[in-house]
Chains A and B, each alone.
Chain A
Amino acid sequence: MRTARDMGLVGCTRCMQVAPMGTPVCPRCGSLLHSRDPFSLQKVWAWWILGLGCYIPANIYPMLETRTLVSTQSDTIVGGAVTLAQHGNWGVALIILVASVVIPVAKFLALAGLAIGVWRGSNMPEGRQHLLYEVVEYIGRWSMIDVFVVAILSSLVQLQALATITPGRASLFFALSVIFTMLSAQSFDSRMIWDNARRSEPKEDIRP
């Protein structure tokens, strides 16, 4: 398998323009050109750690505070899902659980796995790793669905004394966590997956 680097080319990650290796700036869109981002893994890990750090309080603090005339209720993410499940709303509970727990956790695991795989080498085929990365990057933004629900509810349900829904502290942390993991995923230079594949193969002289 030949990569652009093998062919002495560098591709722009922004506009996909291919330029000869050593071109510092994309001749079409003007963004910096790197054959491989040297700080990619550092960025991934930095955002990953931040995301994970935010994910912990996002699960400890209440996501949603519901004040009605007679009671005040504040639910964490998991607690809210459990409450919904207890009330029989299995579908909604499942959606919340998937969007707020399964996806972020899977994302953390996937990103960590990819980063470790790039760093140490992986047994997973390159194609599948890339697919995994694509899925992570694509699906990660859907975790924001919980934040959107909270934002919509708290802006809609403001009936003064009767019923008020305010976002809990967890919603901020959760949003930050999603943002950080998205940044983390974006920082991952997926081209490095293929470098690993080459490392495991017998070295080929890149020079003609």
Chain B
Amino acid sequence: MTQDDMPPPEPPVKLAGRSLLERVSVIWLAPLAALVVVIGVAWQTYADRGPLIEIAFENASGVRPGTTELRYRDVTVGLVEDVSFAQGLGRVLVKVRVDQEVAPYIDGDAQFWVVRPEVSARGVSGLGTVLSGVYIEGLWDGTPGEALGRFDGLPDAPLDRVGQNGLRLILRATGKASLVEGAPIVYRGIEVGRIGTPTITADGSSAQAEALIFAPHDRLINSATRFWDTSGFSFSLGPGGAQLDVSSVAALVSGGVTFETMISGGGPAQPGGLYTVFPEESAARASLFAGDDSEILTLSAVFEDNIAGLSVDAPVELNGLRIGRVTTLNGLVDHERFGDGRVRLLVNLAIRPGRLGLKGGAGRESALAFLRESVATGLRARLASASLLTGGLKVELIELADAPPAEIEPFGEGGLLIPTTESEIADVSATAEGVFERINALPIEAVMEEAIALMQNANALISSSETRAVPGNVNDLLQDARGVVGAPEVQALPGRLDEVLTEIETLVTQIAQEALAAKLSAALSDASAAAQGVSDSVIGVPELVARMDAVAQRAEAVEIETMAAKMTALIDTTETLLAGEDAQALPGTLNTALEELSTVLAQLREGGVVQNATEALGSARDAADTFAAAGRDLPGLVAEAQAVLAQARVTLAGYAAENGVGRDARGALREVERAAKAVSSLARAIERNPNSLLLGR
């Protein structure tokens, strides 16, 4: 049992040789592995970390560090780490940790803007940001460039979104055309472009905005293209009927622009080219033939008179041609310039150089040069009446021959002052007032009253039964007259006259044929004796002549003529009566007169004038016959007459010398001739114009 008593030997080697594995538990591998993982992850994160960029925004509403993302094509490529202020608190600095793989592409051309929800007439955009919060959208091209640490963020989304490249233009609105941010540019109903943020031009005369025409529609644009405003709607009424134009609802609400290349031959469009937006299509078309109205020369004019009536948009005319308009009206008090404290009228004029028609182009400079030259020779601005009715004024540029020297002076900040002269304003209101006063003074009421009374009288006259009877009576009268004229006796009258004349002619021929001279000689011897007696009794001849004259006059004043004259008088009287005051009583009288007239005519027809005339002519024929019979005895007398003729001639010469009987006899003969003429003319007149019996003409 020695072995049992012996203590077992210490195993020092075994103690010292306890391996590390035996002394240390494998469980330590777990924290070790965790440590390795942590270090690995940390290193990985650090190594993969992209660069930090700074974006300066005017307004970073909704951007939160650690939450807000940077996106490119709607894919997250970065995260906002910090939001702070730039120096001076002017801008907000957003620090964004960008992914390693996109970092090289974010170079100088990168653009950043904050995407926020937006609700507009064109639709809703960025709706996702309502729930997820805003994000920063970045835009850069696909080529790596030199990295930049600091960028300026845009206040709004730029025109060319990703994948929408195209032609950039500058649109300038004139007149009432409006440019609305983000409004579509529509061509044939398709949106082919977009308008950027409008700004006011430096001279304040118009608004302009950048516009982008998306590719491939940009080939539609060339230098002859004209843009016009399609916002709102237009209503026109013309020969073609009524027309209502509404382009689209979006354009109606938010505005829009469309364009058309109206004429061929335009050059290619230049990027950044300036185009004018016209208020409507017709204006755009008209602009093709007129100069470009977009360029404007602004002048100021100070008028001494502070006259009401001039308004904004009043015309500015040069020799009657409208070359511009009044843009603003202000009062002006300038002690230094004018030396007193009076308020003057300061008018700003927008002159369109294109309207001047200058040869050297429609530029502002050439227009100004032209005006300077004109002012040196007496061109002045003055106020003048534009409208007589409204009393509106216009500004007139007029050449004054005796104007004191002046020139276009600088005025205010960059302004130009054109010299003015006294206004020529027709005091239209006063003239018009005078006219109205005179009209007012006219006795219209009295006239009206008289007219009313007259009308009442006329009414009573017309409505009276006598008046109504007049037409019937007149008709009867006319029928009677027609009966007279149409009577066979009257019709036969010319024939009878003709017969009488023929017989007279025959008579004269017979006298000539039957050698009256021989027969006359005997008679002439008696006549020669008688001539002495005649010579003695020459005093009695005038009485004879007078009687013959009387006879002739009576023959002239035949009964018909008298009656016609009486009828004339009657009608005259009738007229007078009608015009007279007691015309009421006329119809009765007229009726009576007509009835009498009718009776007279009836009498005439029954056996009056015509038969008398016939009888008279018959008597004349008898007389002629008798004369002819007497004529047959004459030839014997002719010889004597011839013998006596010498004596008679002497005697007659004496008579002629005395201008006594011969003259009277000639006169008597003339009267007879006249009487005959009168009868013949009466007969002709009756033949030609039977109703002259009635009318007395």
Give residues in A with beta carbon < 8 Å to B.
39, 42-43, 46-47, 49-50, 53, 69-70, 72, 161, 187
Contacts of B38 in A (CB 8 A): 53
B30: contacting residue among A50, A69, A70, CB under 8 A:
A50
Contacts of B202 in A (CB 8 A): none
Contacts of A42 in B (CB 8 A): 24-25, 27-28
Contacts of A47 in B (CB 8 A): 27, 30
Tell me whether A69 and B131 are in contact (CB under 8 A): yes
Q: Is the interface of A mostly helix, strand, loop or mixed?
A: helix
Tell me whether B27 and A39 are in contact (CB under 8 A): yes
| Complex: chain B residue closest to A50, CB-CB | B31
Contact of A161 with B131 at beta-carbon distance under 8 Å, contacts A46-B31, A50-B34 already known: yes
Interface string of B101-134 (1 = CB under 8 A from A): 0000000000000000000000000000001010
Closest 6 CB pairs of A and B: A39-B25, A42-B25, A46-B27, A43-B27, A50-B31, A49-B31
Contacts of A49 in B (CB 8 A): 31
Sample of 27 A–B contacts (CB below 8 Å): A39-B24, A39-B25, A39-B27, A42-B24, A42-B25, A42-B27, A42-B28, A43-B25, A43-B27, A46-B25, A46-B27, A46-B28, A46-B30, A47-B27, A47-B30, A49-B31, A50-B30, A50-B31, A50-B34, A53-B34, A53-B38, A69-B131, A70-B131, A72-B67, A72-B133, A161-B131, A187-B27
Query: Distance (Å) between the CB of B439 and the closest chain A CB?
Result: 77
- Bound form: Cα–Cα A69–B38 in Å: 35
- Bound form: Cα–Cα A49–B31 in Å: 7
- Bound form: Cα–Cα A49–B24 in Å: 16
Contacts of A72 in B (CB 8 A): 67, 133
Contacts of A161 in B (CB 8 A): 131
Give residues in B with beta carbon < 8 Å to A.
24-25, 27-28, 30-31, 34, 38, 67, 131, 133
| Complex: chain A residue closest to B28, CB-CB | A46
Query: Distance (Å) between the CB of A170 and the closest chain B CB?
Result: 15
Contacts of B31 in A (CB 8 A): 46, 49-50, 53
Q: A46-B27, A46-B30, A161-B131 known; 19 other A-B pairs, CB under 8 Å?
A: A39-B25, A39-B27, A42-B24, A42-B25, A42-B27, A42-B28, A43-B25, A43-B27, A46-B28, A47-B27, A47-B30, A49-B31, A50-B30, A50-B34, A53-B34, A69-B131, A70-B131, A72-B67, A187-B27
- Bound form: Cα–Cα A72–B27 in Å: 41
Query: Distance (Å) between the CB of B66 and the closest chain A CB?
Result: 10
Query: Distance (Å) between the CB of B637 and the closest chain A CB?
Result: 158
- Bound form: Cα–Cα A43–B30 in Å: 10
- Bound form: Cα–Cα A36–B523 in Å: 218
Query: Distance (Å) between the CB of B517 and the closest chain A CB?
Result: 156
Query: Distance (Å) between the CB of B65 and the closest chain A CB?
Result: 14
| Complex: chain A residue closest to B26, CB-CB | A39
- Bound form: Cα–Cα A201–B25 in Å: 30
Query: Distance (Å) between the CB of A189 and the closest chain B CB?
Result: 12
Contacts of A70 in B (CB 8 A): 131
Query: Distance (Å) between the CB of B273 and the closest chain A CB?
Result: 47
Query: Distance (Å) between the CB of B89 and the closest chain A CB?
Result: 28
- Bound form: Cα–Cα A161–B130 in Å: 12
Contacts of A50 in B (CB 8 A): 30-31, 34
- Bound form: Cα–Cα A42–B30 in Å: 12
